[in-house]
Chain A
């Protein structure tokens, strides 16, 4: 482990193996969990997963939140903001629409499914 941490090339490869591992396991978990969703709820499943894919908001925040002194923010295009800021800003907007709109509309739909009384 120590050798991996102290050697940048090894560390990079190690991180890659880790993220691939997470990816493969997540896909398997996804298949297991989603196959149990009944056709009754397939539309809310789709709108709900829309909301979940809005997780790109994490990446959007990182891009929009770049400090002005960071190298990526060097070339200004609008006022003090760089192209990376602009891309991040737009990404924040669209990812937020997905997150907020997705969860809200899914909630609206799910609330309509009622048991026989």
Chain B
């Protein structure tokens, strides 16, 4: 009878944890409630951990010391990573955490398979099939994420560009078929762990091959997709253990990753399969850089920009990955404050795929105390751009390319920020080199556009100095 009561309490705790996860994510619908939402999630995990420790008296068993060491080591590494990381490196950290999530699923599923066989439950199809799923998806997530991390971090031996070779899709297909065969073998011979490790090996290789074929600027899609995989792997682990809280939490994360992946694809007007297997270059674009730019490029200096800004009333800044790379956000803050002191309204236009992960620019600008009311979404900003006096494009390229409106362009149909509708456009860029899509940007040659050739941070600092000099 006592055991039944314990079972009720433990499962009630798991239910409470699941509810708190949902409420926590709900809190993220508004920045004001988000901090509390995140804490609810943390409390949920704490409840689930305590319930699990009480369950089967785990904590009182003869191996409790490895749990304690595991918590301590993991906790310490987690704290260090979370405190040390720069806001610009958030994509790398999220990629790394995705990978750890995948690894944890691989390990838990392996342990659960051993336990099931030991308990004489090796014939349980729910356990063996979901172990296979958890091991495979977990391994893809682990190595795929490590590759993504390597690309984002800029390791020399991992090319930032997409690596393509003849027959690559066939190689991946064969690996997938091999994994399914190994899955069948695991179901038939669950006592033979070799099959499980071979499956993990195949999944790891698949993860590497999937991500190595994807270029740096497509990382937002890759990271969101791997985020979703880490959730699905956790949910699969939940099926292995018939544990509801794992299933609920894993599904929430899986759903979140899928939604973000879809948003990223829509923001580039590309299908997921095009990002994963296709890449750019399918559409022939005939216009060369010389034809587009000709002698229509108008270079300007910081002093010229200061004069444009002197008479402006509304300014919009469009940040891109270049702002993160050049660590220009602090300079941007100084410029924003200076303009606001001169009673100029400053807003930021954030394209969904600006940066290397969804929301990347928002975090950087929040870090330098730009209030979130000034961080506008693409559609809201586009509605007002015709009334904007000066638009400053900082380290962004493809997301402001008006060619996206042309049907024969490589980026046809991609939603863009319509900076060309602003009265004056200042583009801060090192050179006329193309963005990720590899096509020229006719914006640079437009009558109302001026090029400030410089490093982003230096350019903004120079503009600040020029405005101050102007008085």
Contacts and interface: CB of A to CB of B under 8 A. Distances in A.
Given A51-B45, A96-B70, A59 B253 contact: no
B62 A59 contact: no
Interface string A79-113: 01111110111111111111111111111111111
A19 B83 CA distance: 37
Contacts of B352: 39
Contacts of A68: 61-63
A34 interface: yes
A52 B21 contact: yes
Interface in B248-266: 248-257, 259-260, 263
B97 A27 contact: no
A31 B203 CA distance: 27
Interface string A12-33: 1001100100110011011101
Nearest to A112: B366
B45 A99 contact: yes
Given A12-B124, A115-B32, A58 B373 contact: no
B357 A89 contact: no
B111 A81 contact: no
Given A103-B38, A104-B79, A108-B82, A94 B52 contact: no
Contacts of A81: 63, 66
B104 interface: yes
Nearest to A72: B118
B34 interface: yes
A103 B35 contact: no
B257 A23 contact: no
A27 B38 contact: no
B78 A100 contact: yes
Interface stretch (B158-166, B224-232, B435-443): B224-232
Nearest to A106: B38
A59 B241 contact: yes
Given A49-B256, A52-B45, A40 B359 contact: yes
Nearest to B38: A106
Q: Which of A44, A101, A108 has the most CB of B within 10 A?
A: A101
A98 B75 contact: no
B280 interface: no
A22 B94 CA distance: 27
B41 interface: yes
A41 B243 contact: no
Contacts of B56: 62, 65
A77 to B, nearest CB: 11
B224 to A, nearest CB: 7
A93 B108 CA distance: 11
B33 to A, nearest CB: 10
Interface residues of A, number: 89
A64 B66 contact: yes
* Chain B contact surface mostly: helix
B126 interface: yes
Contacts of A100: 74-75, 78-79, 82
Contact of A43 (B21, B26, B359): B359
Nearest to B97: A50
A23 B246 CA distance: 10
- Residue among B25, B42, B103, B111 with most chain A CB within 10 A: B111
A81 B103 CA distance: 20
Given A43-B357, A49-B257, A52-B21, A60 B97 contact: no
A110 B34 contact: yes
A33 B22 contact: yes
A42 B30 CA distance: 11
A84 B114 contact: yes
Interface string B363-377: 100110101111101
Contacts of A117: 371
A114 B372 contact: yes
Contacts of B58: 61-62, 65
A71 B440 CA distance: 66
Interface of A: 12, 15-16, 19, 22-23, 26-27, 29-31, 33-68, 70-74, 80-85, 87-117
Q: Which 9 A-B pairs have the closest CB atoms?
A: A96-B74, A30-B255, A63-B111, A92-B70, A100-B78, A42-B359, A72-B118, A101-B78, A71-B118
Given A27-B255, A100-B79, A109-B366, 20 more contacts: A12-B126, A33-B22, A33-B26, A44-B359, A46-B357, A47-B97, A48-B28, A49-B253, A50-B227, A52-B231, A53-B101, A59-B109, A66-B63, A72-B117, A73-B63, A90-B103, A96-B73, A100-B82, A114-B371, A115-B32
Interface of B: 18, 21-22, 24-26, 28-32, 34-35, 37-39, 41-42, 44-45, 48-49, 52-53, 55-56, 58-59, 61-64, 66-67, 69-71, 73-75, 77-79, 81-83, 85, 87, 90, 93-94, 97-98, 100-101, 103-105, 107-112, 114-115, 117-120, 124, 126, 193, 223-224, 227, 230-231, 233-235, 237-257, 259-260, 263, 350, 352, 357-360, 362-363, 366-367, 369, 371-375, 377
11 contacts: A23-B251, A31-B259, A39-B352, A41-B359, A46-B227, A48-B41, A71-B120, A82-B114, A90-B103, A102-B78, A113-B372
